[in-house]
Structure 1
Amino acid sequence: MFKKRILLVIAISLVGCSTSQPVVRTVRTTNKTIARTKQTLHKKPNTTIVKSVKKPINSKPDIISKPIAQSPVNNSKTETNSKTDINSETQILEATTRVKVTTAMVLEYISKYKDIAKNNMAKYGIPSSIILGQGILESGAGTGPLSVQANNHFGIKCHKDWSGPSVKYDDDSAQECFRKYNLPNESYTDHAIFLTGRAWYQPLFKLKKDDYKEWAKGLKAAGYASDPKYPDKLIGIIERYQLNQYDSEVLGTEYVPVNSKEQVSANSNLYQVSQGDTLYSISKKFNISIEDLKRKNDISENAISIGQNLIIK
């Protein structure tokens, strides 16, 4: 019996020793887990760095867009330097506004509105050449402030009978009232109605429809413009761009081109400005100083207009 008890105690001791081993194993496992956790913590900063590198990618389109916006400017400079044709030449147009335009701009304007001018000639009896010439002169070939802001291509003021929209603009007096239109076509129609509906313009309609010179003088005489050189400017534009060809098309007559090259008036004391003329070139041609030329013609600036008659003696 005693022996059995001893054997039981020994067996219990052995069992106790065997159950203590997992404790050691558990400690080892914990150490590995800690080590792995440390490794994981060390890896997290790397993940954050990768994300921060990707952020600048979103800003690349803005950087690329800048040279794209500049490239047309560089191209235009190259094209401008290479142009030698007549379309790039500039001239001054001065009536209601004073603007500088190129020949190409004027030709584009003519192409855009010539059909309207021809239709108005057929309907109202105003020469196409006069309509287009006035449109070019008064609107600066569609680039002047009144034509851009108010679609007013003929410098027509409000007057008492106008109840439509208007704009204020400095002309003969400060902040004068000018008519405003929704479309340029409305300005062309109103121009025809304006001339046909006023008694003081009626003498114009007794003139021949292909006599643009008398029409230009008649407009000034009737008070359309205050500029004493208005007829010369208008005639110069008509002849420079051969606008009277559209009169012939409407009338069904043969068109005879006008010689618009540099001209000396029948009055040898006058010279009509033509394409390419400057005060300097005219002064050299007629052996007169620029200052004398400006003084004789009451010119304060160096700009002159095609068709303008200058006193040279």
Structure 2
Amino acid sequence: MPYRKEFISKIANLAVENRNKTGVLASIVIAQAILESNWGRSQLTVQANNLFGIKGSYNGQYVTMPTREWSKEKGWHTVNARFRKYPSWKESIEDHTRLFVNGVSWNRNLYKPVLEAKNYREAAQALQGTYATDPQYAQKLINLIESYKLHQYDNEKQPKSETRPKPQPQTQQTSGQAPSYHGFYYTIRRGDTLSQLAQRFAVPMSFLQGFNDIKNPNLIIAGRQLYVPKSYTIKPGDTLSQLARRSPKNYRELARINGISNPDRIIAGHSIYL
């Protein structure tokens, strides 16, 4: 159905951008959004931009709606609940990720298995009984991911070790396609430290921090993907906005990370990281 393809195309870029920053699998984000929002057509999504059925309030904003819950005692039953209201889908996705990272007040590590999952199947299983009460929740997510090939947005073909990829021709990103970047992704292993990885990949640690939005360099999580930027020598005619297409960061963020005071003026022959 056309609206399904349109929904995936619209949310895929947001999910990939989120994956680049946090390591949360894009396929899981997209599949959950499909399932929880009925392809973006649910009343909750239309009224509150809430793609994931997250309850509570967001910056004091919420809507009250009926929802179906499952329990062993009552089976499926309907209750009224408050759900968070967001300005846009982008905030909904970011808040969804914060829930995975921060957990809930009574269990900060509730979603740690999701973050450390090696693939979408493990992540889906970790969500059953924690994120949703539906006993078929994991299988529903897996079916969506495999039916619509959502795992293509998990960067499966990127190296999972320090092996660098062979150079590939850069193509302009089109809607719904995973972007082609100058750098590559590395899946963090237990025992890794950011300083060791910086030395291994010959990248200044500050760039690993900047490209991955890492606030605490002493805290990296096994199972997450780390974007490893590569050095690029600026050529005559290059602009930072053009080069940003080959990076997970926009041109202003590239300027900040690379210490460029004027993002509209870059000098041929100088090196930057993308």
Residue 242 of structure 1 corresponds to 149
Name which of 23, 30, 38 aligns with 1:140.
Answer: 38
1:202 aligns with 2:100: no
**Could you state the TM-score of these two structures normalised by the residue count of structure 2?**
0.51
Residue 22 of structure 2 corresponds to 124
Query: Partners of 1:111 and 1:146 in 2: how far apart?
Result: 20
Q: Kindly state the Cα deviation for residue 146 of structure 1 after the two structures are TM-superposed.
A: 0.6
Residue 219 of structure 1 corresponds to 127
Residue 135 of structure 2 corresponds to 228
Residue 80 of structure 2 corresponds to 175
- Secondary structure in 1 matching 2:82: strand
- Secondary structure in 2 matching 1:114: helix
Query: Partners of 2:62 and 2:157 in 1: how far apart?
Result: 33
1:166 aligns with 2:56: no
Distance verdict in 2 for CA 1:126–1:251, change over 3 Å: farther
Q: Deviations for 1:169-198, whole angstroms, at most 9, x for unmatched residues?
A: 111352201000111111011111111111
Percent of paired sites with the same residue: 40
- Secondary structure in 2 matching 1:158: coil
Residue 89 of structure 2 corresponds to 184
Q: Kindly state the Cα deviation for residue 234 of structure 1 after the two structures are TM-superposed.
A: 0.7
Query: Partners of 1:201 and 1:186 in 2: how far apart?
Result: 19
Query: Partners of 2:47 and 2:59 in 1: how far apart?
Result: 18
Distance verdict in 2 for CA 1:115–1:163, change over 3 Å: closer
Q: Deviations for 1:13-33, whole angstroms, at most 9, x for unmatched residues?
A: xxxxxxxxxxxxxxxxxxxxx
Q: Of the two structures, which has the highest relative contact order with CA contacts closer than 8 Å and spacing of 6 or more?
A: 2
- Partner letter of residue 200 of structure 1? L
Q: Kindly state the Cα deviation for residue 164 of structure 1 after the two structures are TM-superposed.
A: 2.1
Query: Partners of 2:56 and 2:66 in 1: how far apart?
Result: 13
- Secondary structure in 2 matching 1:200: coil
- Partner letter of residue 120 of structure 2? Y
Q: Kindly state the Cα deviation for residue 125 of structure 1 after the two structures are TM-superposed.
A: 1.4
Aligned residues of 1:146 and 1:155 also touching (Cα < 8 A): yes
**Could you state the TM-score of these two structures normalised by the residue count of structure 1?**
0.45
Query: Partners of 1:183 and 1:249 in 2: how far apart?
Result: 28
Distance verdict in 2 for CA 1:148–1:206, change over 3 Å: same
Larger Rg: 1
Higher helix share: 1
Aligned residues of 2:114 and 2:124 also touching (Cα < 8 A): no
Query: Partners of 1:228 and 1:175 in 2: how far apart?
Result: 21
- Partner letter of residue 214 of structure 1? E
Residue 49 of structure 2 corresponds to 151
